[in-house]
Amino acid sequence: MHRVGRIHGILLDCYSILYIGDQSAHFLLCAVERKFMTSRDASDGSASDAVDLSTEAVAALVATHYGSAIGELTLLGAESSTVCRAQAIDGSVMAVKIFWDRADSAETIRWQHEVVSRLAESGLPVARPIRAVDGALTAVGEVDGRPVLLQASEWLVGTPLEDAPPTTPLLREVGRTAARLHGALLREKAPAGLPVHDWEITRSRSTIDAAVREIRYASEHRFPTAEGFPSVERLLAVADDVCRLLRDCVEPLLATLPRAVVHHDLHDSNLLVGSLQDPARVVGILDFGDMLESVRISEPIIAAAYAARNSREPLAAVREVLTGWSESVPVTAAESTVVLPLAAARLTANAAVWSSRLGSSRAAYAAARMRGSVRTAELLLHGLDERAPHPA
């Protein structure tokens, strides 16, 4: 059943690649070969094994494990799991997230949800977890004979940061929120052997390099691009500049930077802000799926990078977020040095990774996530050039 489904997905991906434009037969064969290479062990839990469940399958799982009859279910965009807004017949609404139950990630998934539960108890604006009918925070289910993990949370109402005007009060509140979250996470300890993922900010150069190799290969075979996005050449130029900066100026400092458990993904869709009557308040922190131990300063840097993407003055936006953060968390000299380079690196990694996935089954999600990243990274790099000392 799963093998048939994977082959069907491969054919759909190849069809979507062909539909975008005139593609060579060679690229089609390479695409098929690479899809089989990355999906052949999917039943064992490979990284490319995204969870794509139907609304009917999700509704059945929710009814079984949470005792709720679903009246309306909306699938939401996600990188690798199935994420839904589920409204029960009684009118209650919850967020549901479903993962494959894999030996290499199950402990991490459970730990992350347990942390969210403790953060909710502390009063932070996170989605309070809902326990399954058996009392578990993370339920174990099955789809077509394959085990899955289910997590449900209250549905938070708010405006995504990306849709809110990036005012100075709001940007500073983003920094303060990151600092409050940091204070609460100081009580947490990451499990031993917690896997490090490619989005981890200190791995930016290797992540960008890997994505660039995919892009270079694909561009030689007319890789699909999204209309309105920067050219491959422009992205590769930014990637070269960022990787050089990381190698020469950032990586030598990494060992000196304070470390902590961090959310590590406070991007502009994972922060919700208040209504028009209260637009400078963060009312929701979403998606702890990238939480791990990393450099402490990554928390405000990631938030600032994505906030800058929505601002006409990216440098000023980064400064305001860091100002809010530093009101309660002092920034060391070494941390200050890496702020702009790592902000540019995060956006470049975002653009490179999602560009490399424009031919995948989640192309629409990829295109949405990378919008504005290259332009903003360029502006942040330009700001660094202006700050650098010049010969007299």
> What are the start-end ranges of the H helices in 122-224?
168-185, 204-220
What band does 17 get if pLDDT is binned at 50, 70 and 90?
Answer: very low
Q: Which residue has the tokens 């402990």?
A: 107
pLDDT (average), residues 7-24: 35
Nearest to 287 by CA among 161, 372, 195: 161
Does residue 50 belong to any structural domain of this protein? no
Q: Report the relative pairing of strands 259-262 and 271-273 from DSSP bridges.
A: unpaired
Across all residues in the chain, what is the average pLDDT?
A: 85
Q: Which residue has the tokens 């009312």?
A: 283
Show which of 113, 130, 154 is a domain's final residue: 154
* Tokens coding 361: 């089954």
Kindly write down the DSSP assignment for every residue of 314-372, as one continuous string.
HHHHHHHHHHHHHTTSPPPHHHHHHHHHHHHHHHHHHHHHHHTTTTSTTHHHHHHHHTT
Say whether both 106 and 245 belong to one domain. Answer: no
- Least confident stretch, 97-106, 236-245, 251-260, 363-372: 363-372
Per-residue model confidence (pLDDT) at position 21: 37
Q: Say which residue, 7 or 364, is predicted with more confidence.
A: 364
pLDDT in tens, 179-223: 999 999 999 999 988 888 999 999 999 999 999 998 888 777 655
Say whether both 32 and 96 belong to one domain. Answer: no
CA distance 360 to 31: 10
Backbone dihedral region for residue 382 (phi beyond 0: left; psi -120 to 50: alpha; all else: beta): alpha
Say whether both 170 and 40 belong to one domain. Answer: no
Report how far Cα 250 is from the mean position of its chain's Cα atoms: 22
Say whether both 111 and 175 belong to one domain. Answer: no
Q: What percent of the chain has pLDDT over 70?
A: 82
What band does 77 get if pLDDT is binned at 50, 70 and 90?
Answer: confident
Does residue 321 belong to any structural domain of this protein? yes
Q: Report the relative pairing of strands 282-285 and 159-160 from DSSP bridges.
A: unpaired
Say whether both 164 and 306 belong to one domain. Answer: yes
Per-residue model confidence (pLDDT) at position 49: 75
Show which of 100, 132, 154 is a domain's final residue: 154
Q: Say which residue, 164 or 1, is predicted with more confidence.
A: 164
Torsion over CA: 379, 227, 224, 350 (sign): positive
Per-residue model confidence (pLDDT) at position 8: 36
Per-residue model confidence (pLDDT) at position 389: 53
Say whether both 96 and 243 belong to one domain. Answer: no
pLDDT (average), residues 76-84: 84
Does residue 212 belong to any structural domain of this protein? yes
Residue 73 identity (one-letter amino acid) = L
Work out how many domains the chain is built from and give that number.
3
Say whether both 181 and 202 belong to one domain. Answer: yes
Backbone dihedral region for residue 281 (phi beyond 0: left; psi -120 to 50: alpha; all else: beta): beta
pLDDT for residue 365 is more than 80: no
Per-residue model confidence (pLDDT) at position 146: 93
Does residue 169 belong to any structural domain of this protein? yes
Q: Say which residue, 75 or 46, is predicted with more confidence.
A: 75
Does residue 392 belong to any structural domain of this protein? no
CA distance 389 to 392: 9
Say whether both 149 and 163 belong to one domain. Answer: no
Nearest to 113 by CA among 91, 139, 92: 139
User: Could you list the residue range(s) of the whole structural domain that residue 84 is in?
Assistant: 55-154
Residue 326's CATH number: 3.90.1200.10
Per-residue model confidence (pLDDT) at position 228: 52
pLDDT (average), residues 39-49: 41
Say whether both 25 and 108 belong to one domain. Answer: no
pLDDT in tens, 371-383: 899 999 999 999 9
Does residue 12 belong to any structural domain of this protein? yes
Say whether both 61 and 163 belong to one domain. Answer: no
Per-residue model confidence (pLDDT) at position 121: 97
DSSP 8-state secondary structure symbol assigned to residue 98: E
> What are the start-end ranges of the H helices in 21-67?
25-39, 55-66
pLDDT (average), residues 339-349: 98
pLDDT in tens, 255-288: 999 999 999 999 999 999 997 667 789 999 999 9
Nearest to 353 by CA among 162, 197, 222, 247: 197
Per-residue model confidence (pLDDT) at position 278: 75
Helix (H, G, I), strand (E, B) or coil at 378: helix
* pTM over the 0.95 mark: no
Residue 89's CATH number: 3.30.200.20
Does residue 187 belong to any structural domain of this protein? yes
Say whether both 227 and 123 belong to one domain. Answer: no
Say whether both 112 and 180 belong to one domain. Answer: no
Q: Residue 220, class by beta-carbon neighbours within 10 Å (0-12 exposed, 13-18 middle, 19+ buried)?
A: exposed
Does residue 144 belong to any structural domain of this protein? yes
pLDDT for residue 388 is more than 90: no
The rounded radius of gyration (Å) of the Cα atoms in the chain is 21
Show which of 112, 130, 154 is a domain's final residue: 154
CA distance 351 to 195: 23
